[in-house]
Amino acid sequence: MNRKQEDFLKELLADFKVEAAEHHEVFVSCLLELEKPDTGDHQPIVEKMFREIHSLKGAARAVSLLDIERFCQSMENVLSLVKQDKLEKSKSFFDEMHDASDLLKEMLENLEKGKRTVKAEVVANLIIRLESMKGQSTQNALNDLQPPANPDQKTEQEMYPELSTSSYNSRATVRITTEKLSSILTRAEELVIAKAYLHQYSGEIKSLLRKPSLIPDELPEISKKIDLLDRSSSRIIDDLLVDIKQTLLTPFSFITSNFPKIARDIAKDLGKEVHLSISGENIEIDKRILEGMKDPLIHILRNCIDHGIEQPVERRHFGKPDAGTISLEISQTPDNKITQVSH
User: 326-341: per-residue pLDDT in tens?
Assistant: 999 998 887 766 665 5
User: 45-72: per-residue pLDDT in tens?
Assistant: 999 999 999 999 999 998 889 899 999 9
CA distance 341 to 272: 22
Residue segments in the chain with a per-residue pLDDT below the cut of 70: 1-2, 5, 39, 135-175, 214-215, 336-343
CB 144 within 8 A of CB 70: yes
CA distance 220 to 326: 68
pTM of the model: 0.64
pLDDT reported for residue 284: 87
pLDDT reported for residue 5: 67
| Amino acid occupying residue 201 | Y
Mean of pLDDT over the chain: 81
> Which DSSP string do the residues of 170-225 spell out, in sequence order?
TS------HHHHHHHHHHHHHHHHHHHHHHHHHHHHHHHHT-GGGHHHHHHHHHHH
pLDDT reported for residue 131: 83
CA distance 303 to 150: 53
pLDDT reported for residue 39: 58
pLDDT reported for residue 148: 41
pLDDT reported for residue 154: 44
CB 71 within 8 A of CB 110: no
Nearest of 67, 255, 54 to residue 155 by alpha carbon = 67
